[in-house]
Homo-oligomer: A and B are copies of this chain.
Amino acid sequence: MAKTQQTQQERRADTRQRLLTAARDLIAERGVAGASVDALAEAAQRTSGALYAQFGNKDGLLLALVDHWKDTTANAIAAEFEATPDIERRLRALWGNFVSPPDGAEAWVLLEHELWLYACRTAAAQAQVADRYQTAREQLASALPAATPTAAATLLIALMIGLEMQRRIDPDAVSDELALAGLSALLSC
């Protein structure tokens, strides 16, 4: 067994991971169209040749990003959710993690909208994004004390997305108290 033979196929996996991470960050910052192939490769400390060897073309990278992204953030949604006891604090933690994630990735919502728009116009990506939302709903539903958990989860996620949209464009328009009042009201559904 060689010692530094990690360079065999591990470098390929490393490059793939670097490109996916760079795509996540750069697309959140500049958008799908604003992040060029060269810029994406450079952000991953590689060149465009590596990108094409890995994903074929730019769309290949985007599809891989949607697929990878699918499992990534869904877990974070119900993160500290089951840790807290009473239901109001659970909702507060849910909303808090949504508007300002623990790892400081406040731009993740922009990526969410970018990939949603991309999927709306790209049939190949639509099913993957649909899966992503489905998983998020089920994961949240499993921790929800409601008569119809999946229905309640659908409403909670929808409200958080819509409130965050309004808040990002006008921080004063949506207070935390309003958000919590709305989330609480939807729990009865």
- Mark A residues whose CB is within 8 Å of B: 30-34, 110, 113-114, 116-117, 119-121, 126, 129-130, 133-134, 137, 151, 154-155, 157-163, 165-166, 168-170, 173-174, 178, 181-182, 185-186, 188-189
Contacts and interface: CB of A to CB of B under 8 A. Distances in A.
A169 B110 contact: no
**Which among A110, A130, A151, A182 has the highest number of chain B CB atoms within 10 Å?**
A182
Contacts of A157: 162, 166
Copies per complex? 2
Contact of A116 (B113, B126, B178): B113
Given A161-B162, A161-B165, A134 B185 contact: no
A117 B30 CA distance: 10
Contact of A33 (B34, B129, B163, B181): B34
A contact face: mostly helix, strand, loop, or mixed: helix
B134 A170 contact: yes
Given A158-B162, A173-B154, A168 B31 contact: no
A173 B117 contact: no
Contacts of A120: 110, 168-169
A62 to B, nearest CB: 13
